[in-house]
């Protein structure tokens, strides 16, 4: 009788372990399915919305991916489940590559951003065409240029200063043409004052930017 009770007791315990194990496996499968469904759902998100919320999407993906990887161990590295997870990972990686490429392509050109600040939105493009600068507006153009440089001088890198110098020389070249087209003596004097302000500001700040760059390189 005792022996029979012992066998029955062991059978109950075994059934308990099996039930517990099945519950863990079911929970693990549910976690993996949640991961797969999440990745699938990303395919329905509009591109612009995905780009705008990419940080949040990536953080959520990492969390669900790690949870699914842990759940897979509960399923004894089940090959079918692993294949399902690998397919979802490949799908996510493809989406991420697409998003990264689109976000990179939509980034504003830093040189154009600088040109817009120095001369006005869309006034100067990569072709460096200054034909719009004339005797009537050239003083204002120099004014905006020099004041913008002054406002940003502490933020410019050595490369930025080189770009500033190139655009300044292009503007100066245009001035030579404008002078022959009726530039007033008054505006010419004002421009000369702005040029006197720009020259030492450029020299000192570019030297400072170069020194700072060299210090960072040593570190």
Same-domain status, 37 and 70: yes
Strands (E), the chain: none
**Per-residue pLDDT at 170:** 95
> Residues 28-38: pLDDT tens digits?
888 888 888 99
| pLDDT (mean) for 160-189 | 94
Who's near 119: CB < 8 A, 6+ residues apart? 141, 144, 145, 167
Please tell me the distance from the alpha carbon of residue 129 to that of residue 141, in angstroms, as a whole number: 14
Same-domain status, 83 and 43: yes
Same-domain status, 121 and 211: yes
Final residue in a domain of this structure, among 52, 80, 105 = 105
**Per-residue pLDDT at 183:** 92
Confidence band for 16, pLDDT divided at 50, 70 and 90: very low
Check whether 198 has a pLDDT greater than 70: yes
> Residues 113-127: pLDDT tens digits?
999 999 999 999 989
Q: What is the DSSP string of 93-156?
A: HHHHHHHHHHHHHTSPPHHHHHHHHHH-TTTS-TT---TT--TTTHHHHHHHHHHHHHHHTTT-
Please tell me the distance from the alpha carbon of residue 85 to that of residue 195, in angstroms, as a whole number: 64
Look up the domain containing 152 and give its range.
110-218
- Is residue 118 within 8 A of residue 149, CB to CB? The reply is yes
CB contact burial 18-27 (16+ within 10 A = b; e otherwise) = eeeeeeeeee
Please tell me the distance from the alpha carbon of residue 6 to that of residue 13, in angstroms, as a whole number: 11
| C-alpha 18, offset from chain centre | 50
Final residue in a domain of this structure, among 105, 136, 152 = 105
Same-domain status, 82 and 99: yes
Eight-class DSSP state of 107: S
Confidence band for 214, pLDDT divided at 50, 70 and 90: low
Final residue in a domain of this structure, among 105, 135, 152 = 105
- Is residue 138 within 8 A of residue 190, CB to CB? The reply is no
Read off the pTM.
Answer: 0.58
| pLDDT (mean) for 38-52 | 89
Same-domain status, 93 and 30: yes
> Residues 126-155: pLDDT tens digits?
899 999 999 999 999 999 999 999 999 999
Same-domain status, 129 and 68: no
Rg over CA atoms, the chain:
33
Please tell me the distance from the alpha carbon of residue 213 to that of residue 110, in angstroms, as a whole number: 19
Q: How many domains does the chain have?
A: 2
Please tell me the distance from the alpha carbon of residue 64 to that of residue 70, in angstroms, as a whole number: 10
Who's near 84: CB < 8 A, 6+ residues apart? 32, 36
C-alpha to C-alpha distances, 216 to 155, 163, 212, 213, nearest whole angstrom: 15, 21, 6, 5
Same-domain status, 115 and 98: no
């Amino acid at each position: 009788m005792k022996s029979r009770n012992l066998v029955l007791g062991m059978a109950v315990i075994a059934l308990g372990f099996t039930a517990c194990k099945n519950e863990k496996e079911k929970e693990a499968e549910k976690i993996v399915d949640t991961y797969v469904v999440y990745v699938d759902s990303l395919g329905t998100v509009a591109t612009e919305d995905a780009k705008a919320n990419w940080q949040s999407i990536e953080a959520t993906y990492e969390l669900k991916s790690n949870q699914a990887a842990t759940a897979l161990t509960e399923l004894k590295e089940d090959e079918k489940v692993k294949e399902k997870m690998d397919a979802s990972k490949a799908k996510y990686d493809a989406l991420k590559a697409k998003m990264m490429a689109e976000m990179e392509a939509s980034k504003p050109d830093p040189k154009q951003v600088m040109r817009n600040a120095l001369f006005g939105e869309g006034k100067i493009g990569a072709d460096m065409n200054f034909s719009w600068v004339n005797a009537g507006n050239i003083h204002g153009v120099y004014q905006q240029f020099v004041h913008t440089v002054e406002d940003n001088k502490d933020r410019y890198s050595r490369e930025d200063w080189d770009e500033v110098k190139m655009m300044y020389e292009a503007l100066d070249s245009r001035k030579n043409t404008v002078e022959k087209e009726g530039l007033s003596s008054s505006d010419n004097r004002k421009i000369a004052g702005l040029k006197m302000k720009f020259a030492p500001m450029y020299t000192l700040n570019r030297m400072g930017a170069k020194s700072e760059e060299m210090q960072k390189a040593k570190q």
